[in-house]
Amino acid sequence: MPIYQLDEGLWFPNPKYGEPDGLFAVGGDLSINRLLLAYSHGIFPWFAYQLYNEPHWYCPMDRFVIFPKEIHISHSMKQLMRQGKYLTTMDKNFEDVIHGCSKVNSRNTDMGAWLGPQMINSYIQLHKMGIAHSVEVWEVGETENEIPKSRSLVGGLYGIELNGAFFGESMFSLVPSASKLALIHLAHHLEEKNYSFIDCQFETPHLLSMGGRHIPYDEYIAMLKAYAQKKE
């Protein structure tokens, strides 16, 4: 299958002609307008900036998603949530979350690292525009009248909220199950807003255990377009 070379023009070719893993184009830039165009069509960037000098663009035809109402909360997670050891918030510290995602498992230093300065700067800008959002997980210290006196960031996730969907980009955990707590918080938030799904990009055992499942691209893109048309 051909891999298309993008130019400075704001466009993408038909992703249905890409590689089996979803790669279909390289080049272009990480401008806000290009990123918004990409996500509105289910396209996301992967920029291994230490190996390549331009972003790679993916759009798998088999999409792995979590529908908010289908989030699976195990018995052990329910117990952990009842303990009150952790506090979850939204958009309280986006920059620390994205930097936390970049550092975990050497994501910003390995040769295949993708969450580098250009990616981080673009998503921080999207956050300031109210498009990129974060979920934070805090470990609560001592409390006074049930109000935490201290807390430390131990996990979280971030992604793009667009056309009735949340496009998850990355998550991190410094303690067991922190990213699961973040995902549960996100799912409940999106269910309240009647959003369609969380785009997980690729299947992992972690996300599969939380209720993720595969849907075809045509079904996926139809939901995005239907929500966009309702807002017009």
Residues 93 and 145 grouped into a single domain: yes
Same domain, 50 and 90: no
Q: Domains in the chain: how many in total?
A: 2
CATH code assigned at 48: 3.30.70.3550
Same domain, 102 and 193: yes
Collapse the DSSP code of 140 into the 3-class scheme (helix H, G, I; strand E, B; otherwise coil) and give the result: strand
CATH number at residue 216: 3.40.630.70
For residue 37, CA distances in Å to 54, 56, 123 come to 17, 15, 14
Domain match, 95 and 33 both: no
Both 54 and 159 in one domain: the answer is: no
Rounded Cα distance, 85 and 31, in Å: 39
pLDDT > 90? residue 133: yes
pLDDT in tens, 65-99: 999 999 999 999 999 999 989 999 999 999 999 99
**53: domain range?**
4-61
The domain boundary residue, chosen from 61, 79, 96: 61
* Mean pLDDT for the stretch of residues 12-17: 93
> Quick one: 41 and 93 in the same domain?
no
Nearest to 64 by CA among 219, 214, 206: 214
Distance of CA 65 to the CA centre of its chain: 11
pLDDT range class, residue 117, cuts 50, 70, 90? confident
211 pLDDT above the threshold of 70 = yes
Domain boundary among 23, 39, 61: 61
Show the tokens assigned to 131: 């498009």
146-154 long-range CB contacts below 8 Å, 24 or more apart?
148/87, 151/87, 153/93, 153/96, 153/97, 153/100, 154/86, 154/178
pLDDT at 108 over 50: no
Helix (H) or strand (E) run with residue 151 in it: strand 151-162
Cα–chain-centroid distance for residue 134?
Answer: 9
Angle at 184 between CA 69 and CA 205, to 5 degrees: 90
Does 218 lie in the same domain as 135? yes
From 45, 49, 15, 51, select the one nearest 28 (Cα to Cα). 45
Token digits of residue 53: 């000098």
Same domain for 190 and 206, yes or no, is yes
Shared domain check, 95 and 120: yes
Question: What are 141-161's pLDDT values in tens digits?
Answer: 755 544 455 579 999 999 999
Q: Are residues 24 and 12 in the same domain?
A: yes
Q: Which of 155, 152, 121 is nearest to 135 (CA)?
A: 155
What's the pTM value of the predicted model, to 2 decimals? 0.91
Please report the pLDDT score of residue 112 as a whole number.
Answer: 43
Same domain, 71 and 186: yes
Is 28 found in the same domain as 118? no
- Write out pLDDT tens, residues 146-205: 445 557 999 999 999 999 999 999 999 999 999 999 999 999 999 999 999 999 998 999
Contact status, residue 22 vs residue 201, Cβ threshold 8 Å:
no
Report the alpha-carbon angle 185-229-128, nearest 5: 50
Say how far apart CA 107 and CA 117 lie, in whole Å.
12
